[in-house]
Structure 1
Amino acid sequence: MSLRSLTCVPLAACVLLLAVPAQAAQPKKYKNCAALNKVYPHGVGKPGARDKSQDERVTNFRVNRAVYNLNKGKDRDKDGIACEKL
């Protein structure tokens, strides 16, 4: 093996590893709350959102404005948190 091919392999691996997280970070619109809760078990909310529930309030939802904006139709009580659950 030449020196050139030895340096090319690690470089290609680094580029591949750096590209994967960027794709995973893209906000996604989910079909329903069951699909969203597989990724965000307690829901997703915009910054500053507070659960309006009368019982136990959900406080451990993921804060992500981009994902919330794509899925705000699933925020039935309009409290800034989509698909919240304990």
Structure 2
Amino acid sequence: MKKWFGILASGCLILGFSVYSSHDTEAAVKTKTFKNCTEMNKVYKGGVARSASVKNKGGKTRYKPYVSQALYDANKKLDREHDFIACER
């Protein structure tokens, strides 16, 4: 009985810490804003797309954009063509 209680308690702790840490990283991604495209492209080479289904109006790009609606919304001012991809390269 004690063995099962220990295993169950350990599993709950591990699960609790993993959920807390993944929530923490998601919050950091949501609130990150960039001053300009050069700064954003250091972290996200292909820029940031609002969804996976958006198409680039500017033509062929070299890198695939990172898809995140929250990150795009925080940096909407960097989307010059208004094609829902900020700082595409």
TM-score by length of 1: 0.67
Q: Give the Cα–Cα distance (whole angstroms) in 2 for the partners of residues 29 and 22 of structure 1.
A: 15
Q: Following TM superposition, by how much is the alpha carbon of 1:35 offset from its aligned partner in structure 2, in angstroms?
A: 3.3
1:77 to 73, 76, 81: 81
SS of corresponding position for 2:31? coil
Task: Identify if the C-alpha distance between structure 1 residues 38 and 12 changes in structure 2 by more than 3 Å, giving closer, same or farther.
Answer: farther
The CA distance in 2 between the partners of 1:46 and 1:66, in whole Å, is 8
User: Residues 50-76 of structure 1: CA distance to partner in whole angstroms, max 9, x if unpaired?
Assistant: 11224x335611222111111110101
Gaps of 5+ in 2: none
* Aligned residues between the structures: 83
Residues 57 and 37 from structure 1, CA distance in 2 versus in 1: closer, same or farther, beyond 3 angstroms? closer
Higher helix share: 2
Cα RMSD (Å):
2.8
CA contact (8 A) 1:51 1:79 kept: yes
Q: Hey, what does 1:52 align to over in structure 2?
A: 57
Asked if structure 2 preserves the Cα contact closer than 8 Å seen for 1:51 and 1:58, the reply is no
